[in-house]
Amino acid sequence: MSVSNFLGLLGGLALFLYGMQMMGGGLEAAAGNRMRGILEKLTSNRFLGLAVGAGITAVIQSSSATTVMAVGFVNSGMLKLQQAVWVIMGANVGTTITGQLIALDVGMYAPLFAFIGVALIVFTKGTRPRHWGQVVAGLGILFIGMEMMSGAMMPLRDSPAFIELMTNFKNPIIGIFAGMIFTAVIQSSSASVGILQALAMSGLIGLPNAVFVLFGQNIGTCITALLASIGASRNAKRTTVIHMMFNLFGTVFFTCVCVFTPFVSVVESWTPNNAAAQIANMHTLFNVVTTLMLLPFGTYMTRIARMILPETEAEKSVGFHLKYLNDFELSSEMSFGSSAITASGITRELQRMGVMVRANVEQAFAAVMKIDVTSLEKIEEREEYIDFLNKEILKYISRFLAGNAGANPEETAKFTGFFRICANLERIGDHAMNIAGYTRLLHKNRIDFSAYAKGEIREMQKICVETMNEIMRTEQSPEDVLSFVTESEKKIDEMTERFRGHQMDRMSSGVCSGEACVLYSEMLTDFERIGDHFLNIGEAVSQFDIQ
């Protein structure tokens, strides 16, 4: 191969890979939020899960991305392991679309696609038309790259060394390993299948030799999900095991079929003059047939994955920890689904934090009313956990925003809102600790509040718990949350003013001692500040839907 042909091959490969990335990026920007919403609302229905996995993969042109997204959603609690099985199966079906597109001989129209796409990007002002222009331009660039690769590899037909290399792929084991390693390196089965089709279009490899490489490519695509599961929960790792099981089963089954039957010749006969279509058809058959065979056994695959990776003692949380967030989610900048995965994990961590804050607020008021110093140890321990979650969640949000500086304004607003919610929850926890701390002073100085004051403390406790419950109700719309919290904050301000008046009356009548008055006044200040933080949370929630 001459230098010019080698450079043409590299240039064609670069355009092909860039075209795929451009298509996926454009579709993610144009319709990503809608598709993420579909996946988030996925039910346990296997056919719906299959359709969603296939649809998203067909759109973003990458089964690896869909599988990584499924791993992330399982890790963050958005999907159950059983639901992820159907998504993975669908992803394997959806990934065949790229090969079928390449098999359509539309190379002559590639420059037209590229021109239309670039025209939309350059000459339109709206964001959405530009995104769709990116999709069309990416498709054109992809086909231009295919044509360049195919043309550059033509001279290799006369190279004895290369012909001998291609002939070695007749050996199933060599072919499978070659496909597996190559796909693992470039981390895209769609791209590796496309390159295999380019070799076939150049006359360098026929289906009998290519078929085993093709099967190995399906195994190689599991590497991306395997890497993504490092550092994730054990359930997320089980998702990658299921993905690997699917492709291993399909490879073993189809290898046996191709070795012991004339199946390859049958597939060749469907499109005798189109080598790229032969590979695309075999790829489609591999994934569709394997899916149909394994679809009834999805539940058993889940059980096998649990047997391979059984629950360990380490899974049972010990000490302070983040339950729904892992570093692997920050490994790529705004890859498809990464925002949804991270947002879901942060939301669930904030809900955990909210549960702890609510418990501390409720128990702090109870401790004061009963002068129960024995409950303070538990409150203090929980406050340490709240501080830990605040620190780790804020650190996580900061890292996400810093690593995704190009995120759209809606995404940035959402994560900024998360930041505000987390900080205000932590401040509510601090005020709960202040209130709990008054219990020690009451106990040490043998002070007790009057029955009137305890009745008012009970009212404070009630409205604080009710407001926390309303904030944490996932079925509430952001507007309803803001409306309720705004009204609660007004009530808290009114109650604070009214209770201060009652306090002065009790002091005048001698019902309340001076020391008790000081403590009660401090408590009212904490109560009023809690109301302010409720309002801050409501305003942050109203800017986006964290449910």
Tally helices (H) and strands (E) across the chain.
22, 0
Question: pLDDT at position 334, please?
Answer: 44
In order of 96, 217, 236, 478, 546, the CA distances from 342 in angstroms are 28, 30, 14, 20, 12
Lookup: tokens for 339? 């925002």
Query: What is the separation of C-alpha 82 from the centre of its chain, rounded to a whole number of angstroms?
Result: 17
- The whole-angstrom separation of Cα 221 and Cα 153 is 25
Q: What are phi and psi of 272, to 5 degrees?
A: -65, -25
- The whole-angstrom separation of Cα 544 and Cα 540 is 8
Tally the residues of the chain. Answer: 547
Question: pLDDT at position 547, please?
Answer: 43
- The whole-angstrom separation of Cα 267 and Cα 197 is 15
- The whole-angstrom separation of Cα 77 and Cα 252 is 33
Lookup: tokens for 58? 């067909």
Burial class (CB in 10 A: 0-12, 13-18, 19+), 111: middle
Lookup: tokens for 279? 């590979």
pTM for this predicted structure: 0.57
Question: pLDDT at position 523, please?
Answer: 94
Would you say 475 and 546 are in contact if contact means Cβ atoms under 8 Å apart? Answer: no
Would you say 421 and 537 are in contact if contact means Cβ atoms under 8 Å apart? Answer: yes
Q: Is 510 left (phi over 0), alpha (psi -120 to 50) or beta?
A: left
The domains located in the chain, with CATH, are 3-308 (no CATH), 337-541 (1.20.58.220)
Question: pLDDT at position 166, please?
Answer: 61
Helix (H) or strand (E) holding 383: helix 376-403
pLDDT tens per residue across all 547 residues of the chain: 578 777 887 887 788 777 766 776 666 566 555 555 555 555 456 788 888 888 777 766 667 667 766 776 776 666 777 788 888 888 888 878 767 776 666 566 778 888 998 998 888 877 778 878 887 888 788 778 767 776 776 676 666 765 666 667 778 999 898 888 887 776 667 777 877 887 888 777 888 888 999 999 888 878 767 766 766 667 778 888 898 999 999 999 999 999 999 999 999 999 888 888 899 899 999 999 999 999 888 888 988 988 888 866 555 544 678 887 765 445 444 444 567 677 878 888 999 999 999 999 999 999 999 999 999 999 999 999 999 999 989 988 888 887 766 666 777 788 889 999 999 999 999 999 999 999 999 888 888 888 889 999 999 999 999 999 998 887 778 888 889 999 999 999 999 999 999 888 888 777 777 788 889 999 999 999 999 999 999 999 887 654 4
